[in-house]
Amino acid sequence: MSGTFSLPASRTEVVLEEIRRGILTRELRPGQPLVEAELAQRLGVSKTPVREALKVLSNSGLVTFSPYKGASVCVVDAAMARDVFDLRLMLEPEAVRRSVQRGDPAVVDEAAEALKAAQAALPDRDHAELSLLNRTFHRALYAGCGNPLLIDILDQLRDRSALISIVGWDANPSWRKEWNEHKAVLAAARKGDADGAAELLRRHIADFLERILAVT
């Protein structure tokens, strides 16, 4: 969110990504009011794409609306973390199991690329970049499950999961541990071990939830 930039076809999409990155980098702090006029001025756009972007981010869980206070950055608490990760634990391992069973090599290739990029980003400790790559890795593995509705439900959890991850990393920088866990999941997927990949992913999600609950 460094100022005016060149806008492609969709102003809302660009503004959406700028505000999302601002939240994930903690430039926009938890609980901070998101005033349309101020954001529009900072980003060099009208208030309309800002308003539309805030609505999308509200649906994805990064922004909350109050009848009297307007929009603000979502604050992560234990209840939110438990609800989001509980749903992921129920759905994501099964989605990955089905994805590996289907055997599409593009699934493994995309996940491997995200993992490689995450390894390169580890030394910089760029929370936002690591969070986005984490999202890419997980989605690559479940997106081949063959059930569009299941994919859509998991996609709707991605922003909330990213925000929860940032909170966890602030308290306990555990990127390298998670990167190694991702490597193990990917190795199982490469071998076509659907049940093994699903179980490793389940443990990965459950362990991170336990760490989050310890600090929220």
Does 93 share its domain with 153?
Answer: yes
Into how many domains does the chain fold? 2
Does 68 share its domain with 84?
Answer: no
Q: 122-128, long-range: CB within 8 Å, 24+ apart, which pairs?
A: 122/175, 122/176, 122/179, 125/173, 125/175, 127/24, 127/25, 127/26, 127/166, 127/169, 127/170, 128/21, 128/24, 128/25, 128/166
In a domain, residue 5? The reply is no
CATH code for the domain in which residue 82 is found: 1.20.120.530
In a domain, residue 3? The reply is no
Give the residue numbers spanning the domain of 52: 11-73
Q: pTM, whole model, 2 decimals?
A: 0.85
In a domain, residue 26? The reply is yes
Domain boundary among 73, 107, 122: 73
Q: Each residue's pLDDT tens digit in the chain (216 positions)?
A: 655 444 444 788 999 999 998 998 889 999 999 999 999 999 999 999 999 999 999 999 999 998 888 999 999 999 999 999 999 999 999 999 999 999 999 999 999 999 998 888 777 766 677 878 888 999 999 999 999 999 999 999 999 998 998 888 888 778 788 889 999 999 999 999 999 999 999 999 999 999 889 887
